[in-house]
């Protein structure tokens, strides 16, 4: 297994207690079951240890597998990357980024395939 990085989606589908107490890819700030099915579908991470969420991963289709990610890549308090894994292979297929640092997502890229 490769070392997790800022774009790694991580595990989903466990209980909120398991997510908060378990061995996760980054320190967990919060784990939520937004649809009430007993399984985590949103996890908020703190990658730099300052207590502030800088990575959020979601399971938007309820299948127990993460498919969306929002990142504050430069730790300035603003999301500057949103990615979606449309085909469920664990890799982002569509990404929107703030390429000029103004706080607006201005570049969208989609993978070929």
Mean of per-residue pLDDT scores for the chain = 90
pLDDT higher than threshold 60 for residue 1: no
Domain range for residue 82? 16-110
| 44: in domain | yes
Mean per-residue pLDDT, 29-44: 94
- Structural domain count, the chain: 1
Reported pTM: 0.87
Residue 5 lies in a domain: no
Burial of 36 (0-12, 13-18, 19+ CB in 10 A): exposed
Residue 8 placed within a domain: no
Q: What is the pLDDT of residue 101?
A: 84
30 within some domain: yes
Q: Is the pLDDT of residue 61 over 60?
A: yes
């Amino acid at each position: 297994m490769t070392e997790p990085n800022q774009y790694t989606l991580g595990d989903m589908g466990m209980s909120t207690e398991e997510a908060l107490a378990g061995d996760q890819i980054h320190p967990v700030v919060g784990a939520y079951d937004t649809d009430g099915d007993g399984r985590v579908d949103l996890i908020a991470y703190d990658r730099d240890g300052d207590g502030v969420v800088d990575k959020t991963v979601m399971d938007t289709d309820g299948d127990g597998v993460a498919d969306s990610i929002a990142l504050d890549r430069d730790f300035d308090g603003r999301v500057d990357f949103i990615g979606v894994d449309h085909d469920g292979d664990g890799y982002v297929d569509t990404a929107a980024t703030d390429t000029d640092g103004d706080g607006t997502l201005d570049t969208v890229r989609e993978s070929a395939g």
